[in-house]
Amino acid sequence: MDDFKPQIVAFCCANCASSAAKVSQGMKKALPDNIKIIQVPCTGRIETLHLLKPFEEGADGVYVAGCQEDSCQYISGITKAAKRVTQVKGILESLSIEPERIDVFHMSAGKGQEFVEVADQMVNTVKGLGPILTA
């Protein structure tokens, strides 16, 4: 299990999350290479199906990085995204898959450090859970 490298898909909004990403690049803080970033205009645009598809395609974990609840540029985008993440947690649980494999994080535009920390956190969590495949 030590050589298990979880494949993670990260949905990041074009606002806070991407700003944080830029800052982290500027800080020369590397993002783990098993994270695939998908940039969206606002996390509110992410549908439940978008969050399920990565698991269908073989991802071991998914996360959403967006703004703080009170600083979403589109007001309620991140709030909607958080609800959909909760919905998918429920779906995963009913499939006896750990709900920790999906999560939502709230970024602040200037905190590049946070952006990398969150990525590391997800990788560690999912690594600890192992791959999804039962058989």
Partner 1 sequence: MIVAESKPIKELLEMVKDFKRILVVGCKGCVTVCNVGGAKEAAILASTLRISGKKEGLDVMVGEHTLERQCDPEYINELKDVIGDYDAVISIACGVGPQFLSERYPDTKIFPGVNTKFMGGAVEHGVWAERCAGCGTCAIHLFGGLCPIARCSKSLLNGPCGGSSNGKCEISQDVDCVWDLIVTKMMEQDRLDELTVFRPPKSWTTARDGGPRKMIREELVK
Using CB under 8 A, list all residues that contact partner 1: 47-49, 52-53, 55-56, 58, 91, 94-97, 132-135
In the bound complex, what is the minimum distance in angstroms from residue 36's beta carbon to partner 1? 18
* CB closer to partner 1, 26 vs 96: 96
CB of 87 to partner 1, least distance (A): 9
CA 3 to chain centre: 22
Find all residues with CB under 8 Å of 63, minimum gap 6, and list them: 8, 9, 10, 11, 102, 103, 104, 105, 118, 122
Joined together, the tokens standing for residue 132 give: 């999804």
Q: Which is nearer to partner 1, 100 or 120 (CB)?
A: 100
What's the min distance (Å) between Cβ of 122 and partner 1?
18
Rg from Cα positions in the chain: 14
Q: Which is nearer to partner 1, 1 or 133 (CB)?
A: 133
